[in-house]
Chain A
Amino acid sequence: MSAVTAEHGHDDHHDDHAHGPEKGWLRWIITTNHKDIGTLYLLFALAMFFVGGAMAMVIRAELFEPGMQFVDPKFFNSMTTMHALVMVFGAVMPAFVGLANWMIPMMIGAPDMALPRMNNMSFWLLVSGVLLLASTLFMEGGAPAGGWTLYPPLVLQTGKALPFAIFSVHLLGISSILGAINIVATILNMRAPAMPLMKMPMFVWTWLITGFLLIAIMPVFAGAVTMLLTDKFFHTSFFDAAGGGDPVLYQHIFWFFGHPEVYVMILPTFGVASTIIPVFARKPLFGYSSMVYATASIAFLSFIVWAHHMFTVGMPIAGELYFMYATMLIAIPTGVKVFNWTATMWKGAMTFETPMLFSIAFVVLFTLGGFTGLMMSVAPVDFQYHDTYFIVAHFHYTLVPASVFILMAAGYFWLPKWTGHMYNEKIGQLHFWLSTISVNILFFPQHFLGLAGMPRRIPDYAIQFADWNMISSIGGFIFGASQLLFLWIVIDTIKGGTGEKVTDEVWEDAHKHGLEWTLPSPVPYHTFSTPPTVIPCDHN
């Protein structure tokens, strides 16, 4: 099985014997192989990370000094809106779907995903959706500029781009739903018989739960934007006050989707962290079953807290109180996780390779982002924080040094497995330190700006905000530039890296932590055609 070369390059897909990939570029279009599709997702997400990052650079350049410098306010607003949409739907979500494609079959001892052809379709729908979204930048009236939440009535003032943006959301939604269906089916049906649910790796568990979240919420979002579409073009009045509708209804529907959506981005993050930390602590994961229950609790709570995004909308006091206390509850399962990671590291024989460094930074900085979230759950004080840079600082802490850092960690952790080459550890550590220092210079001052009252989504600001904005922008430029190191490392590692031959387990004793480390490096095109009988157990 290990000696897979391209010698059987025939086209018979019904043939279960090991054969290599399709020859030529067509391989990447028609592939149904989970590893190929995982690679496509990851590379696409990396490209979109730089596109969304470039938009962030435009935002930070304009905010470097008060006054209007580089772009007009309309374009600035398009940048904030598109930066969010590209990063959420083009970078972070596809990156985790890519990891799921690559890793889940290998982690559960399956030969491929459950529905390989649909897998190919999800990826190309994603590409179509993102291209359609990008095309709105060149349309009359510009790209959507009313914020990624697409609140009416403001979003209805978008020019020619509105229906294209909405159809793009439909495509992205269908792509996510198909991807989620595939992942859930793979996990439930394709596990090696020797792997019961409660022995699955945490990454698989978090994705199983995330998959259900996606199936539940993406259609609701699709419905909400369809209502926007019919309000604008077919005289319905879902959100149109003149016809008896209510714009606040949109906010309820949107956040019914939106709150679980942010957990779609953070739960797989938790899963990867729970995979990496035990390997470098050389201990099993602490509190495995509590991790599973905590993940499930967080997912459940995500459905009943949505209106904490809307404390200022004018809810009755009972509503404010309910959503406040329900939101605070989330801190409990999340705290369980943070303590479990800390306990996993406790008295471990730790080493600090790049993936571990990023994971530790994640634990610390995600906790910080979680604390500001807890602050905002307090309804009366949220009236001050609402729509200021404080919320911007909060969700960037939970997304950048959390989700994005863990995606980086995952890259460093599994690249040697995928490619068979070792990345350059020195450059990796340089990337880590530059990123960690600059991400704090970038986002920490935004807490101060928000508390001082600087609103989000504005291209110009009062001069008392000038100093911290300049510092934040400097941090932003360093952070943006540092990510080019990661790009270099990915390319360099694919091309051969340090030249050091990596072992099958790559990291010392990693084979005790997961099935993927029992496979050869680089991983052959087809793996686990027959399910493994011995499952390494990372816990209990």
Chain B
Amino acid sequence: MNDDVSVKNKKLGQKLAIAAIAMFGFGYALVPLYDVLCEWKWIERDRPDAIKAIPETAYTVDVNRNVNVEFMTSLNENTPMVFSSEMPQLQVHPGEYHTVNFYAENKTNKTMVARAIPSFSPALTSTYFEKVECFCFSEQTFAPHEKKTMPMRFVVNPALPADYKTITLSYTFFDNTETAVKK
């Protein structure tokens, strides 16, 4: 191989390597890009609107329609808690306010900081599910072995498209004690 070609090869190799490194950066750039696309509603996402309190407004109750709201409770891996809801499901009329209690217990001898994250299925219903009061709006601090009863007050906006007859609301508790201490 003559030296000219060898130099050319090295130069091209370097350019391609730079392209590869740039693509590594591009992978990370997808993270903020994703947030932007979610904000523009190009990608549907539950949070953060779903975690915001919405002031109680009086809607006309649509008594002719029933929406079945299902409640699911789960714990993230290794979260030492007990977590359940008062009832597995509830029939509601759109526009009608309801309060459902959730129970959580810290199973450890230490103070624990935990955060419940909601998720809706179908995801598109999250915009119509308005919460006045919820334990998921902020981190919850649990004293050792503390049991808490946490009410969640909500309304299904009557604007919910008629196609949706069931909304599944799932809460997952995450143990944030370690991250909370670092802050």
Contacts and interface: CB of A to CB of B under 8 A. Distances in A.
Nearest to A242: B174
B117 A235 contact: no
A220 B10 contact: no
A50 B26 CA distance: 36
A244 B5 contact: no
A335 interface: no
Contacts of B121: 314
A242 B16 contact: no
B23 A220 contact: yes
Nearest to A257: B27
Given A215-B23, A319-B42, A189 B47 contact: no
A520 interface: no
B159 interface: no
Interface in A379-417: none
Interface in A234-277: 235, 238, 240-244, 246, 248-249, 252-253, 256
A354 B28 CA distance: 47
B31 A182 contact: no
Interface string B103-136: 0000000000001010101111000000000000
A235 B42 contact: no
Nearest to A249: B34
Contact of A189 (B9, B31, B42, B179): B9
Interface in B13-53: 13, 16-17, 19-28, 30-31, 34, 41-45, 47-48
A216 interface: yes
Interface stretch (A107-115, A283-291, A468-476): A107-115
B137 to A, nearest CB: 14
Given A153-B77, A184-B16, A256-B30, A222 B24 contact: yes
Nearest to A178: B17
A448 B117 CA distance: 38
B12 interface: yes
Main secondary structure of the interface of A (DSSP, over half): helix
Nearest to A246: B45
B45 A114 contact: no
A243 B177 CA distance: 12
Interface in A467-500: none
Given A242-B115, A244-B47, A316-B42, A185 B27 contact: no
A219 interface: yes
B41 A252 contact: no
A153 B16 CA distance: 34
Nearest to A317: B124
B76 interface: yes
Interface of B: 1, 5, 8-10, 12-13, 16-17, 19-28, 30-31, 34, 41-45, 47-48, 76-77, 115, 117, 119, 121-124, 172, 174, 176, 178-179, 182
Given A219-B24, A241-B117, 19 more contacts: A112-B1, A185-B12, A185-B13, A185-B16, A189-B8, A215-B23, A218-B23, A219-B23, A220-B27, A223-B27, A244-B47, A246-B34, A246-B45, A252-B30, A314-B123, A314-B124, A315-B44, A316-B41, A316-B44
Interface of A: 16, 111-112, 114-115, 118, 153, 156-157, 177, 180-182, 184-186, 188-190, 215-224, 227, 235, 238, 240-244, 246, 248-249, 252-253, 256, 314-316, 318-319
